[in-house]
Amino acid sequence: MSANGASGGPRVGHPHGVRRLRIAVLVKTNAGGTWLLPQVDELRHRGHEVTVVLPAGAGRLTDELERRGVEVLPSPYDFTMGWSAPVGLLRLRSLLRRLRSDVVQYHLIASAYAVRLATLGLPVCRVHMVAGPAYLESGLVRSVERVLWRLDDVVVCGCRYASARYGELGCPPQRRPVAVYGVDTDAFSPDATGGDQRAKLRAELGIDQSAFLAVLVSYVYPPKRLVHSGRGVKGHDVLLTAWRTFRRRHPDAHLLLVGGGWTAAGESYRRQLAERFGVTDDPGVTWVESVPDVRPCYAAADVSVSPSLCDGPGAAVEAGSMGVPSIVSAVGGLPEAVTERSGWVVAPADPAALVSALDAAYRAWAGGTLPLRGRLARRHVLASFDDLRAAAEVADIVEDVAARRR
């Protein structure tokens, strides 16, 4: 979940004279995935022709791309592996040939499988963008990727963790560079939402103005059979378990969960969690299913929590950009989003470790030192996760790989 989008500001041009490229960007969602907007903007700013291929129908990503004047085409393949998959892949191949794409850039693993198969034998440059590394936790998927990454000209990893995992699969360093999915540090800043947002949102949600407020911003994804023994990857159950213990120690604390279920299966799992942990009847927990803008939720919070079982930097980067320190699991790219002085890193799937980190954050809050951690979190994000700088790095990689391919 994010209100992230591209903003104005200085652009970093490519140092070499690069001819205009025809670039097709493909992603399996038209609702999420707004993190690709700065990359599309940067490529177009450099004069490249960009067409985005998305699932058919309305969606937030489709709307935002069209508002920017980007050509959006419906994907003829629905990203499923049913009986109609061969026909869908052939139609996708025909579409990419018709676009005469020099580069196909694809986000999310289902998109990668589709493009790799649909472009076999075509003279295109394949740029695989790894938004999140969770799929690499599956032994079956790793076995498949050990072979199929070789069809990618480059695997652009959104965190160092993903790059290391592809290294374990035999991918050489020059073909697995790291370029983060950044955050709009102008839009996500402590001053962007106005000074009254903290008090205003708390009043709207009935949260005490003097409470210690922890926030988890994330959709609820349904458990997967192939990873983490069928547990939800975002760790909502871990946090809710820890919160019971933590709040008994600190009755003035409140937990804000922001995000509904991703797909009907995710919503079903969210309801199961709410019932299992008695969220409806718990005065110390508020669960908001959907908000048009997550920034006020961060502005109202004292600490952000990302208890995922595997994840990219994600919400911790948004929170840090807003000047909010984070507690994150020691998995995936999450530890890269914090420093020792700006947040806490805890063992995954360990409610007791999470309680200890929440205790530490509470002590810092009570002692008045938590805002300093927030300022250091903001500094870290500015240095490492600014979206314009990150988009420029991706554009450089695309141009370099296309030039080498020619």
Cβ partners under 8 Å of residue 274, min gap 6: 280, 287
82-118: b (≥16 Cβ within 10 Å) or e = eeebeebbeebbebbeebebbbbbbbbbbbbbbbbbb
Give the residue among 215, 195, 191 at the shortest CA–CA distance from 205.
215
Per residue in 51-61, pLDDT (tens digit) is 999 999 889 99
Q: What mean pLDDT do residues 47-54 have? A: 97
Confidence label for 167 from pLDDT (cuts 50, 70 and 90): very high
Q: What mean pLDDT do residues 76-89 have? A: 90
Q: Does 16 have pLDDT greater than 70? A: no
Three-class secondary structure of residue 125 per DSSP: strand
Three-class secondary structure of residue 85 per DSSP: helix
What pLDDT, on a 0 to 100 scale, did the predictor assign at position 191? 87
Q: Which domains does the chain have, with CATH numbers?
A: 22-182+386-405 (3.40.50.2000), 197-384 (3.40.50.2000)
Strands (E) across 330-387 are located at 343-346
Q: What mean pLDDT do residues 272-289 have? A: 95
Q: Bigger pLDDT: 137 or 62?
A: 62
Bridging pattern class, strands 303-306 and 285-288: unpaired
Q: Does 282 have pLDDT greater than 60? A: yes
Confidence label for 266 from pLDDT (cuts 50, 70 and 90): very high
Give percent of the chain above pLDDT 90.
80
Task: Tell me which DSSP letter residue 36 carries.
Answer: G
Q: Does 280 have pLDDT greater than 50? A: yes
How many CB atoms neighbour CB 336 within 10 A?
A: 21
User: How many angstroms separate the first and last alpha carbons of the chain?
Assistant: 38
What pLDDT, on a 0 to 100 scale, did the predictor assign at position 290? 82
Per residue in 117-132, pLDDT (tens digit) is 999 999 999 999 999 8
Per residue in 173-196, pLDDT (tens digit) is 999 999 999 999 999 999 877 668
What pLDDT, on a 0 to 100 scale, did the predictor assign at position 227? 65
Per the document, the length of the chain is 406
Bridging pattern class, strands 303-306 and 326-329: parallel
What pLDDT, on a 0 to 100 scale, did the predictor assign at position 12? 43
DSSP for 172-198 reads -GGGS-B----B-TTTSSTTTT-TTHH
Give the residue among 83, 103, 82 at the shortest CA–CA distance from 22.
103
What pLDDT, on a 0 to 100 scale, did the predictor assign at position 376? 98
Per the prediction, the chain carries an average pLDDT of 92
Per residue in 97-112, pLDDT (tens digit) is 999 999 999 999 999 9
User: Where do the H-state alpha helices sit in 53-191?
Assistant: 60-67, 85-99, 109-118, 139-148, 160-168
Q: Does 165 have pLDDT greater than 90? A: yes
Cβ partners under 8 Å of residue 228, min gap 6: 137, 309, 310
Q: Does 80 have pLDDT greater than 60? A: yes
Per residue in 209-253, pLDDT (tens digit) is 999 999 999 999 998 776 667 788 899 999 999 999 999 999 999
Task: Tell me which DSSP letter residue 220 carries.
Answer: B
Confidence label for 15 from pLDDT (cuts 50, 70 and 90): very low
